[in-house]
Amino acid sequence: MRSGWRERRLSPSRHRFEVAFGGRARTRIVLLLSAVLALSTADAGMVGALARQLEAAFGISHAGLGLVAAVSSGFGAFIAMPVGVLADRVARVRLLVMSVGLWSVALVAGGAAQSYLWLLLSRVALGAGVAATGPLLASLIGDLIVAKDRAKVYGWIQTGEMIGAGVGLFAGGGIGFALSWRYAFWLLAVVGAGLGAAIFRWLPEPARGGSSRVPPGATAIPHSSPVTLRAGGAEAGRVSAGEAWRSLAGAFVLLMRVRTIVILVVASSIGYFFFAGLRTFAVVFVMERYRVGVGQLAGLGVMVGAGALAGAVLGGRQSDRWLARGYRNARIVVPAVAFAVSAVLFALGLLASTVPVAVPCFVAAAFMLGAANPPLDAARLDIVTPWLWGRAESIRTLLRLVGEAAAPVCFGLLADRLAGTVGTARGANLRDTFLLMLVPLLANGLVTLLARRTYTADKEAAEAATPIEGSPAHR
């Protein structure tokens, strides 16, 4: 009694975190895995914040800057599928530590770049770390978090993406402007090294199949013996363990037969395509359009980031609540509505000519865009059995990274093309570029709704091959 009182008395903030995340063990999982996402988006956000410095340092255009942001994603897409195989076969925590270490080395090399080619090559190395994030985190979350809570926990973890974007803005807009763009790269390298050490020290490797899932309130990650697969089920043939799983091509064919996977992967990739282009050129657009300084820019970034963060948390939490109340398609409908509403709100903000009018629209749009991803990610785990999570997520990572690689280049080329055709209004070319790119985001909401017809059946097929007999997977 006394020791519990002392812990709450001495560490009130820690106690609040543990209550929000569902216990000490889940708090550790959320903080470490969200930090991995934060590091990735911090780098991308930093490139956007350093846009003018990098363009001046290497004599490049918007399209050249887009290539800097895109090359890491492009290489990551190239190796995403092999990484997915590794995620299903080797120790994931160890591989994650190696990936974070590679990030740090690549950031050090990028900060030391003496030419544009040198900078691009450092981004290639960074792509290897980026490719590992999706499959490894999906597989770890699936084996650590019970199914009914996944969207909620995914929401907490994905706040790392928004926090990382803010860190990148600080590193680029703060350290970069005050000292040099090189120090911004090196700052993130130091953070990455510390994160790798923390993961190695505090995150144990969970058992595959669900026996290490952490229930709410747990103080440590349980270690249990592996569980068996269900043998029966009419749909088990396409998602059960078999020889086809042992080859990448066979796994890919099996996964692509599940229509819900195809729909959700496409939906997620379109969302990230728009987000990648937005984060690369948002700083340039706001500074050109509204003539704001670095201090004002940081304030605007905090508000928009807070909206996205709140959306990720509440989107995951709300979809899980509706799922618990019997609405089986909650993890499909929530992101579908969020994508469509986000596109409309972004358009209203882009058309606004003053900051007081534009900012509320951007904050609300960021909220809706953030709310879409946690339910989508949880739904993908619902319809795939644990022994294919890494490879299934590698397909999504492949398409996501292709979109993230293409987006900055597409946005940059279109902005350069529109520069001489849309008049003389400040930031008009980037404004119209964003507006045109909102069309697929709006359509994405309708595409996601198509999964309502197949989600339940595909989920039941996956459950036919998941652990039984009271295992944590079904608690």
Residues 6+ apart with CB under 8 A from 41: 160, 161, 162, 164, 165, 168, 279
Would you say 46 and 176 are in contact if contact means Cβ atoms under 8 Å apart?
yes
352 CB neighbour count, 10 Å cutoff: 17
Distance (Å) of CA 384 to CA 89, 211, 378, 387, 466 = 16, 17, 10, 8, 9
Q: How far apart are CA 301 and CA 170, in angstroms?
A: 10
DSSP secondary structure letters along 379-403 = HHHHTS-GGGHHHHHHHHHHHHHHH
pTM: 0.77
3-state DSSP percent of the chain in helix, strand and coil, to 5: 80, 0, 20
Q: What are the extents of the domains in the chain? A: 24-209+238-466
Would you say 393 and 378 are in contact if contact means Cβ atoms under 8 Å apart?
no
How far, in whole angstroms, is CA 340 from its chain's centroid? 19
Q: How far apart are CA 153 and CA 144, in angstroms?
A: 10
> Please, which residues bridge with residue 214 across strands?
145
Would you say 43 and 168 are in contact if contact means Cβ atoms under 8 Å apart?
yes
How high is the pLDDT of residue 218? 75
Residue 299: φ, ψ to 5°: -65, -40
6 CB neighbour count, 10 Å cutoff: 10
Thinking of the domain 24-209+238-466, which architecture would CATH place it in?
Up-down Bundle (1.20)
Distance (Å) of CA 212 to CA 204, 205, 314 = 10, 9, 26
Residues in the chain: 475
- Residue 81: closest CA among 391, 402, 401: 391
How high is the pLDDT of residue 472? 41
| Token duo for residue 119 | 């900078």
How far, in whole angstroms, is CA 280 from its chain's centroid? 16
Per-residue pLDDT of the chain (475 residues; tens, 9 = 90+): 343 433 444 455 556 666 677 778 888 898 999 999 888 778 777 877 787 788 788 887 777 777 777 788 778 777 888 888 888 888 899 999 999 999 899 999 988 888 888 888 888 878 877 778 888 998 899 889 988 889 999 889 988 887 887 777 777 667 766 778 888 888 889 999 999 999 998 888 888 876 778 877 777 766 544 444 343 333 333 444 444 445 666 777 777 788 888 888 888 888 888 887 887 787 778 877 777 766 676 677 778 878 888 998 999 999 999 999 989 999 999 999 999 999 999 999 888 888 888 889 999 999 998 899 899 889 988 988 888 888 888 888 888 777 777 787 788 888 888 876 544 455 677 888 888 888 888 888 888 998 988 998 888 888 776 654 344 434 4
DSSP symbol at 211: T
Would you say 331 and 441 are in contact if contact means Cβ atoms under 8 Å apart?
no
Cα atoms found within 13 Å of the Cα of residue 362, Cβ hemisphere only: 24
Would you say 355 and 300 are in contact if contact means Cβ atoms under 8 Å apart?
yes
